């Protein structure tokens, strides 16, 4: 197998073929999918703003010296809804805000350690408020992107009050209504078994998330 190629299984007999195609779905972690997004949509030497950089997990398998990467995070005082970047300045923006709502707690109290955002208390008590965080951040991303620039958005569907909330569909609709074209959708399948959270199961447990790729008109 050549370097950079993937082993792909298909068919009833699990016959293996070697392919260098980038596929829409992959089992693994963020750092397994994100380099594929870069290969297809963000050329080397592009000016990229990762506005929810956190611990930099997306970039673990990327040679960042090949990109003009600006790292921003709420922990360092930069809100992804209010970026210190001029209009039409970036080739790409990477956005991965917290997507798990919590009816009782804020980011600060619930998942701060995962997102490196201990200094904020943004309200994520409902799906609607989580989506608003996405929407406001996407509008700001559109402002700083050049025409034809790429916005990469990580998201996951949720369930609230036993009802499905198709966040990736809501985000796509908002993007199309606010200056973007939907270029691609990558599906990341969790490589571990989700922990059991409830004694009685009503819906299938979600073990996948999405990387949306939008382009500014």
Separation CA 141–CA 166 (nearest Å): 22
Between helix 167-176 and helix 127-144 the angle, nearest 10°, is 40
Check pLDDT > 60 for residue 24.
yes
In the chain the domains, ranked by start, together with CATH numbers, are 6-216 (3.40.50.150)
DSSP labels, 34-91: HHHHHHHHS-TT-EEEETT-TT-GGGTTS-GGGSEEEE--GGGT-BTTB-S--TT-EE
Separation CA 75–CA 120 (nearest Å): 8
Check pLDDT > 70 for residue 163.
yes
Is the distance from CB of 129 to CB of 101 less than 8 angstroms?
Answer: yes
Query: Per DSSP, what are the bridge partners of residue 184?
Result: 213
Separation CA 60–CA 30 (nearest Å): 9
Is the distance from CB of 144 to CB of 92 less than 8 angstroms?
Answer: no
Separation CA 76–CA 71 (nearest Å): 10
H/E stretch holding 108 reads helix 107-110
Query: Per DSSP, what are the bridge partners of residue 90?
Result: 145
The backbone torsions φ and ψ at residue 181, rounded to the nearest 5 degrees and listed phi first, read -110, 140
Looking at mean pLDDT, say which of 11-15, 141-145, 164-168, 197-201 comes out highest.
141-145
Separation CA 69–CA 112 (nearest Å): 24
Give pLDDT, residue 197.
Answer: 65
Across the chain, how many H-helices and E-strands are there? Answer: 5, 11
Please give the mean pLDDT across all residues of the chain: 82
Taking the model in full, what pTM does it have?
0.80
Q: Which of 8-17, 142-151, 168-177 has the lowest mean pLDDT?
A: 8-17
What confidence tier does 101 reach under pLDDT thresholds 50, 70, 90?
low
């Amino acid at each position: 197998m050549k370097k950079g190629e993937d082993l792909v299984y298909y068919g009833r007999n699990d016959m293996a073929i070697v392919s260098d195609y980038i596929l829409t779905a992959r089992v693994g972690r963020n750092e397994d999918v994100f380099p594929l997004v870069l290969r297809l949509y963000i050329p080397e030497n592009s000016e990229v703003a990762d506005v929810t950089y956190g611990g930099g997990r997306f970039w673990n398998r990327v040679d960042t010296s090949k990109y003009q990467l600006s790292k921003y995070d709420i922990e360092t005082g930069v809100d992804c809804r209010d970026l210190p970047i001029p209009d039409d300045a970036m080739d790409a923006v990477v956005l991965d805000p917290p997507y798990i709502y919590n009816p009782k707690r804020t980011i600060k109290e619930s998942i701060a350690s995962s997102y490196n955002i201990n200094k904020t208390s943004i309200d994520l008590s409902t799906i609607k408020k989580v989506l608003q965080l996405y929407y406001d951040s996407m509008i700001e991303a559109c402002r700083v992107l050049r025409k034809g620039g790429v916005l990469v958005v990580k998201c996951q569907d949720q369930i609230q009050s036993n009802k499905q909330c198709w966040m990736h569909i809501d985000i796509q609709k908002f993007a199309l209504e606010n200056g973007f074209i939907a270029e691609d959708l990558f599906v990341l399948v969790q490589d571990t078994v989700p922990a059991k959270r409830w004694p009685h199961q009503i819906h299938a447990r979600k073990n996948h998330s999405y990387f949306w790729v939008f382009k500014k008109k």
